[in-house]
A = this chain, B = another copy of it.
């Protein structure tokens, strides 16, 4: 009978590990490069390449709208997409706690395979470690990835004064969703994480010939972190109309309950764009084919350099600062 739980021997480099790799990873991630890979995968790539890495530690591992596997693919694919690169080859490295359910692990791996289809990226190499019970809470996944740069020059330092600042959909749902999914909370809601692969949207923008200055998925630190990073790197000010930021009622409600700033909450499939003002409508038309609530939320400016200024619905102005402290651990 096959084991139902991960055992230390599944990470020992011997027979049991080979069996697990075969019936789980090689089965679901099968492709020519992975199947030929030994200590390393062999790739043929030319020209400018983007390279990124991310370790995923989300708790709970399964949340409305996704799980750690979906997140691990979308997160790394999105980092490549934000650099203007087509996601091509990914690594996946699992650290698993002894006793972890093989059924749950299978669900996670299946979600990864499904999410890969959205960008066409392939897992070409991997690693599996098993650590003794009690030395890790469940599973941690690292994905790293490489892709060919299709649109050069995207950069946090490339936001120009007078650029329009767009968001691809409502913000704050991943962070809210993780908060509500925590055991200690008994909130009920239909809210699901925005966790998703952004490459199709980036490709559609490129295909439509939209001029792009900067793209960033608003993960840890949320919209606030992205805009503050842009003001610092590009030496511009950014002015945002608070009421223009699309935020779901559930997210608003949760933020009022906990005293959170929705713009600080993590997203996992929501990007912020800086585009020339004249390109804003064209960009929004593309983005709205994916999410009807894509919006222009403000603009960059010469004035108020290094500051993000929010105009409230009542006409007053306040600064939106870089988030400080820790709202919520293990969101991604």
Contact = CB atoms under 8 A, between A and B. Distances in A.
A103 interface: no
A52 B330 CA distance: 26
A95 interface: yes
A23 B149 CA distance: 30
A207 interface: no
A35 to B, nearest CB: 12
A127 B54 contact: yes
Nearest to A224: B14
A329 interface: yes
A131 interface: yes
A132 B14 contact: no
A309 to B, nearest CB: 18
B221 A14 contact: yes
A107 to B, nearest CB: 21
A15 interface: yes
Interface in A196-231: 216-217, 219-222, 225
A20 B93 CA distance: 25
A149 B42 contact: yes
B136 A135 contact: yes
B8 A329 contact: yes
Interface string A48-83: 111111111101000000000000000000111011
The 7 closest A-B pairs by CB, nearest first: A13-B220, A13-B221, A53-B91, A144-B144, A135-B137, A40-B52, A40-B50
25 contacts: A7-B326, A8-B326, A13-B222, A13-B225, A14-B220, A14-B221, A14-B325, A18-B322, A38-B82, A38-B156, A39-B78, A39-B83, A40-B50, A40-B80, A40-B147, A42-B50, A45-B46, A46-B47, A49-B146, A52-B91, A53-B125, A55-B93, A55-B94, A131-B329, A135-B330
Given A44-B49, A51-B89, 13 more contacts: A7-B326, A13-B266, A17-B220, A38-B82, A38-B155, A42-B48, A42-B49, A54-B127, A55-B93, A55-B129, A95-B140, A130-B329, A142-B144
